[in-house]
Amino acid sequence: MAISEFVQVDTRSPSPTHEVILEVENVSKSFPGVQALDNVSFNLRKGEVHALVGENGAGKSTLMKILSGVYQADQGTIRYKGKIVNFRNVSQSHDAGIRIIYQELNLIPHLSVAANIFIGREPLTRFGTLDEKKMNTDATAILDRLNIHLDPAIQLNRLPVSKQQMVEIAKALSSESEVLIMDEPTSALTETEIDELFAVIHALRDHGVAIIYISHRLEELKRIVDRISIFRDGRSVSTDDYSAIGMDEIVNRMVGRKIENQFPPKQNVPTTEKLLEVRNIVRPGILHDISFDLYRGEILGISGLMGAGRSELGRAIFGADSIKSGEVIMNGRRLSLRSPSDAIKAGIAYLSENRKEDGLAVKMQLAENITMANVQEISRRFGVLSYSREMEAAQRYVEELLIRTPSLSQIVNNLSGGNQQKVVVAKWLFCNSKILIFDEPTRGIDVGTKYAIYELIGVLARGGRGIIMISSDLPEILGLTDRLLVLHEGSLAATLTTAETTPDEVLNYAAGLGTSIKGDVPTPGQS
């Protein structure tokens, strides 16, 4: 694939009939170890819906955070309504008329719809009390303008998520917003709810609001999008009229890059010896009848869009979330999936997506974290701990995994992201885990350390373990795994042999466009 032909930033001056309201010119932003945005340019016209697509890490969110004043650009200019702006914080961008609706709603469940719309700017009576009456009438006016029919006095948490989203939009628009940024607005909505949302978006566009629409669901773009910009690796790849570009081309530009050098050479050779059998896992509304096998020495990827159930599947196998039905069989024994302890005893490890939230006890010491899941191993009689054994174990893993730490008693919070990830790996190696489920192992980790983690995963598989790797980073999945499962809305859309698949095929299945190929499940022996 010729990369160069995709790296053509659209620098045409906007046609005179299209008034540009927001223009981003050559903006760069770096964080320690990561160039999040590299010379990005982008423009937004009044009254258009402009899709922004790209894989995770492409720089979409960073740009949105710069536009809303959360971050400041290192270089480049942002021109808003003809003037160069540099928002220092969110309230400055709000005042200028730029609003973001995040994927997670920022609403207060126990307040009324009107109270949520006017939060922070409540109209007051002349006695300084809340003017509920004015708030309700104004809220009704805003909702009517959007064609949303809601009682403004109703308590927010009585409404379905889709209606809450409408309230979020109303809140954003209550203060004369001219630019509205929507981040994955449909991820929690049903089909009919999406229709309602799109109707509102159309109405907004007709009122002249400029909308940036971020989505991973490529198939829905055709219904609302006027123009589309594609981001990749922190660069703006292209901007086109949506009608002028096909789906294949979008996918190509999203993933089109050489991925050979990002990954270490393959180290593991999958065997045909079954390590784990997962059968008919059902968690209503989240996982639908998922079955697969994992083989000794294999790295199995789990891919899919956000909300497809990737992490949930990993957690189900580990017993971290309760499921309705299904079996996990290891060494011919059916595991109880009621709590993680049975899975841990059987030799399954789950390395959580959010290291700090549920992988590590960050206030505790490095050695204490390493032994946390297998304290029995360092216990003498009556549950008395042996510190010498603990230090011995910690020292061994610090050396083996090259954990950079000033001491074994270092508080984990003070370690870097990559080293924290290694502490989690050490924790599970100390449990003699045979199967390691890595959930987004490289999220928030700089590029150099990513490579080390990839190597580590390869080495673990070479040593005869089975690896399940859950990742939203498609190149990473394709560069590392032997086989991969693609999930679509909680169902297994495809089981693919990595060497024989293409990014397009995976994305197609993930978007629900591919046909199911159940019954033709490849095993490592076949390839």
Least distance (Å) from another protein to the CB of residue 441?
14
Residues 30-59 that bind another protein (CB under 8 A): 33
Residues 62-91 that bind another protein (CB under 8 A): none
Task: Rank residues 266 and 288 by Cβ distance to another protein and give the closer one.
Answer: 266
CA atoms within 13 A on the CB side of 482: 28
Residue 438, interface with another protein (CB under 8 A)?
A: no
Q: Which of 406, 515, 519, 520 binds another protein (CB under 8 A)?
A: 406
Task: Rank residues 49 and 344 by Cβ distance to another protein and give the closer one.
Answer: 344
Residue 104, interface with another protein (CB under 8 A)?
A: no
Residue 429, interface with another protein (CB under 8 A)?
A: yes
Q: Which listed range, 82-90, 140-148, 178-186, 360-368, lies at the site for another protein (CB under 8 A)? A: 360-368
Collect all residues with Cβ–Cβ distance below 8 Å to 320 and sequence separation of at least 6.
340, 350
Computed over its alpha carbons, how large is the radius of gyration of the chain? 25
Kindly write out the interface string for residues 227-266 of this chain, putting x where it contacts another protein by CB under 8 A and - elsewhere: -------------------------------------x--
CA dist 158 and 4 (Å) reads: 52
Q: Which of 39, 56, 103, 416 binds another protein (CB under 8 A)?
A: 416
DSSP 14: P
CA dist 231 and 38 (Å) reads: 10
> What is the distance, to the nearest Å, from the Cα of residue 152 to the centroid of all Cα atoms in its chain?
33
For tokens 């390493």, the residue is 370
Task: Rank residues 183 and 476 by Cβ distance to another protein and give the closer one.
Answer: 476
Q: Which of 111, 263, 451, 523 binds another protein (CB under 8 A)?
A: 451
Least distance (Å) from another protein to the CB of residue 457?
10
Q: Which of 35, 187, 379, 491 binds another protein (CB under 8 A)?
A: 379
CA dist 214 and 183 (Å) reads: 5
Least distance (Å) from another protein to the CB of residue 389?
13
The dihedrals phi and psi of 282, each to the nearest 5 degrees, come to: -125, 125
Closest CA to 369 of 337, 321, 403, 320: 403
Collect all residues with Cβ–Cβ distance below 8 Å to 316 and sequence separation of at least 6.
281, 283, 287, 323, 326, 337
Residue 520, interface with another protein (CB under 8 A)?
A: no
Residue 358, interface with another protein (CB under 8 A)?
A: yes
Q: What would the DSSP string read from start to end of 90-136?
A: HHHHHHHTEEEE-SS----TTSBHHHHHTTTS--B-TTSSB-HHHHH
Least distance (Å) from another protein to the CB of residue 444?
14
The dihedrals phi and psi of 326, each to the nearest 5 degrees, come to: 125, 160
Q: What would the DSSP string read from start to end of 336-357?
A: P-SSHHHHHHHTEEEE-S-III
CA dist 429 and 371 (Å) reads: 10
Residue 460, interface with another protein (CB under 8 A)?
A: yes
Residues 294-323 that bind another protein (CB under 8 A): 318, 320
Footprint of another protein on this chain (CB under 8 A)? Answer: 33, 264, 318, 320, 339-341, 343-345, 350, 352, 357-365, 368, 372-373, 375-376, 379, 382-385, 399-402, 404-407, 409-411, 414-416, 418-419, 427, 429, 432, 446, 448-449, 451-452, 455-456, 459-460, 462-464
